Amino acid sequence: MKATLILANGTLFHGRAIGATEDRVCEMVFNTSMTGYQEILTDPSYAGQGVVMSYPLIGNYGVNHEDNESARPWAEAFVVRHLSPEGSNFRCEDTLNNYLKSNHIVGIEDIDTRALTKILRSQGTMNGMITCAEHFNINEVMEKLRAYRVEGTVERVTCREPWTLPAEGERKYRVALMDYGMKRNMAQCLAKRGCEVTVLPAHTPASEVLSGGYDGVMLSNGPGDPADNVEIIKEVKKLYDSSLPIFAVCLGHQLMALATGARTHKMVFGHRGGNHPVKDVEAGRCFITSQNHGYVVDADTVDPNLASVSHVNVNDNTVEGLKYRRPNCFTVQFHPEAAPGPMDTEYLFDRFIASMGGDR
Pick the catalytic residue from 253, 276, 293, 335: 335
Cβ distance 22 to 149 under 8 Å?
A: no
Cβ distance 298 to 285 under 8 Å?
A: no
Count CA within 13 A, CB hemisphere, residue 269. 18
Cβ distance 304 to 260 under 8 Å?
A: no
**Residue 137: partners with Cβ closer than 8 Å, 6 or more residues away:** none
d(CA 313, CA 320): 6
Cβ distance 295 to 264 under 8 Å?
A: yes
Query: Where does residue 90 rank: exposed (0-12), middle (13-18), buried (19+ CB within 10 A)?
Result: exposed
Active site residue 337: yes
d(CA 279, CA 287): 6
Pick the catalytic residue from 250, 271, 276, 293: 250
The string of DSSP letters for 66-111 reads GG-SSSS---SEEE-SEE-SS--STT--B-HHHHHHHTT-EEEESS
Select from 349, 37, 331, 311 the least CA-distant residue to 185.
349
Crossing angle of the two packed helices 184-191 and 347-355, in degrees rounded to 10: 60
Catalytic residue positions? 250, 335, 337
